[in-house]
Structure 1
């Protein structure tokens, strides 16, 4: 491989990885949701993987809250409040799931609703 080809290849790989805000959010939430769903199916036989996926989902919601409380975030205040509420619900519900006192279904439904909203609402960021 010559240096020019390597440079072009490196540039192309990075250019492809750059995405607009909404698409990147969608892909991250979709990946976390898929991991949660996949591990929930085998939670009885592989609880550590399931717990890790629940943790990833919790980290996702924490990151969403950190993002929306930023003064520069343009989302309407009522939407920010709803996201904070969902993050709190997710935190409490995750604790119940880890104690085997609740189903993962509400978390999956919330994430899917967020994905639908990202897919259909307005122009991309």
Structure 2
């Protein structure tokens, strides 16, 4: 099967939650690799930029009036997105470690894991 066919099949079969889990796992893996490589400040920007983009997207989706998630969860996600935005700036300036962003993402990944889906 070609890569394109595989990606198309996955996009059809994959739930939004599974897609979010996969995306957060990929981005977090990039941040871990950057951390393990000893990258600092601006050298972290490629991984940090992707992380910031996904959190901004989550925030925008949660702010939408037609979003069906519980209000408290939406507010929590928006708050986390705002924190990620501010904290990322601190990481780029060398004022904070990337490890805290990784920890937040890992907690989200754990919450999105298939075994944590309520029946």
Counterpart residue number, 1:42: 37
User: Could you say if the C-alpha distance between residues 93 and 17 of structure 1 is closer, same or farther in structure 2, counting changes exceeding 3 Å?
Assistant: same
Q: Is the 8 A contact 2:62 2:74 kept in 1?
A: yes
Kept in 1, the 8 Å contact 2:52–2:85? The answer is: yes
2 CA distance for matches of 1:35 and 1:61? 15
Partner of 2:25: 30
If you compute each CA radius of gyration, which structure gives the higher value, 1 or 2?
1
Q: Give the TM-score of the pair, scaled to structure 1.
A: 0.81
TM-superposed deviation, 1:71: 1.8
Match of 2:16 in 1: 21
State whether structure 2 residue 77 is matched by structure 1 residue 83. yes
Q: Which moved more, 1:39-48 or 1:64-73?
A: 39-48
Measured at CA, do residues 76 and 97 of structure 1 come closer, stay the same or move farther in structure 2, by a change above 3 Å? same
* Aligned equivalents of 1:45, 1:77: Cα separation in 2: 37
TM-score, length basis structure 2? 0.85
Q: Any gaps of 5 or more consecutive residues in structure 1?
A: 1-7
- Cα distance in structure 2, aligned partners of 1:22 and 1:83: 14
Number of aligned positions between the proteins: 115
Counterpart Cα distance in 2 of 1:94 and 1:11: 33
